[in-house]
Structure 1
Amino acid sequence: MMVTRYTRTAMLFHWLIAVGIVANVALACTWPYLGDTSVRPAIDTHKSIGVTILGLAVMRLIWRSTHRPPPLPANYTPVERKAAHGVHWAFYVLIFAMPLTGWIMDSAYKDAASHPMYWFGLFQWPRIAAVMHLDPATRDRVHDGFGAAHSYLAWVICALFALHVGAVVKHEWIDGDRELKRMLPGGADATE
């Protein structure tokens, strides 16, 4: 069976974003158990990974707009095709929504002005000025609202991740579609 693969660049974006999301969810799950001196570095790393995912998402969307993905295997049912497209587009929405809600929440943090955010400790990442300069009561509501949205979206992305992995497992090992080969690096048949 001929396996039509994604480009190497699409694979790179896919795996970098996937690893970033898994790392960020893991960090968020661990900081309730960290000591006081370890929480802030974990949160700062979480923010740095989040803005990195946002940058990668922009590049991925630009790449995707100029490079068609390979067609789905011919034996996919119409329901599987619709589900695959729906899940992929939901992931696109989430890889923008997650970091944006986090950035807005962080910009609305009451002590944002006195606690700058540094991208992996290298340079100061800007906060959203319009959010930082809201009146305190509005800023607190924005912080809480976008914080709740950020948490909710994390649950949604975890559910989609489980659905995505489950579909890959089904197609790879039950249907024999060699689904993993489409997105794994290596092999001479992947293009740029």
Structure 2
Amino acid sequence: MLPQTRYTRTAIALHWVIALLMAVNIALILLVDRYPDDWVRPAVDTHKSIGITVLGLVILRILWRFTHRPPAMPGLYGAFERFAAHAAHGVLYLLMVLLPLSGWMHDSAWKDAGTHPMYLFGLFEWPRIGWIMAIEPTLKETWHTVLGGVHAWAGYVLYAMFGLHVLGALKHQFLDGERELQRMWPGARG
């Protein structure tokens, strides 16, 4: 039997759906200051909904990864490259959980969260995190600020890690001659 050279269809689908949703979410929030005033609240609510969706999909992806072994790295990877690839993927998984979770916590610490429910894509009310909602108002405002900072800085780290992830894949594909993109590209042959 030939060794597995590609990720499973499910892993590939989750990878690209999560990447697309995260890219849309980043664009949505980075451009929010350019929207007309009546678009800002719907844009922020959509950002929150996409974040919760990403969190759910990332949990599915992690469960899939634990139950389906990924293909081995190409043979030309050196020890440092293998370590760097594993470390980068670990940081990316951490960020894919930290970003939506810190955003949800930040939203739950919002002073008006109790009077302004959050609706997941406008379909149904999404719960805030109860223990955060129950914090004394002054302390909750501090948590809102801290969690907003964590969310923003995690975003900056994500931008850097995303860049390294893409550059690493392109380096292996085009400079090293490995069939790196075929491992994760939908429909590609291994």
Partner secondary structure for residue 5 of structure 1: coil
TM-score with structure 1 setting the length: 0.94
Note the C-alpha offset of 1:113.
Answer: 1.1
Deviates more, 1:104-113 or 1:3-12: 3-12
Note the C-alpha offset of 1:58.
Answer: 0.8
Partner secondary structure for residue 158 of structure 2: helix
Which 4+ runs in 1 deviate beyond 6 A?
none
5+ residue gaps, structure 2, are none
Q: What do residues 29-52 of structure 1 show as CA deviations (whole Å, max 9, x unaligned)?
A: 100111211111110010000000
Aligned amino acid, residue 58 of structure 1: I
Q: Could you tell me whether the CA contact under 8 Å between 1:106 and 1:143 is conserved in 2?
A: yes
Matched, 1:132 2:153: no
Q: Quote the residue 1:112 is aligned against.
A: 113
Identity of matched residues, %: 49
Aligned amino acid, residue 101 of structure 1: S
Q: How does 1:36-185 map to 2 (within 5 A)?
A: 36-185=37-186
Whose relative contact order is higher, 1 or 2, with alpha carbons under 8 Å and at least 6 apart? 1
Task: Count matched residues.
Answer: 188
Note the C-alpha offset of 1:20.
Answer: 1.3
CA distance in 2, matches of 1:41, 1:183: 33
Partner secondary structure for residue 31 of structure 2: helix
Q: What do residues 6-47 of structure 1 show as CA deviations (whole Å, max 9, x unaligned)?
A: 000110111111111111111111001112111111100100
Aligned amino acid, residue 95 of structure 2: L
Note the C-alpha offset of 1:186.
Answer: 1.4
Note the C-alpha offset of 1:185.
Answer: 1.5
Note the C-alpha offset of 1:187.
Answer: 4.8
Note the C-alpha offset of 1:105.
Answer: 0.3
CA distance in 1, matches of 2:106, 2:188: 42
- The 1:34/1:187 distance shift into structure 2, 3 A limit, reads closer
Note the C-alpha offset of 1:188.
Answer: 6.7
RMSD: 1.3
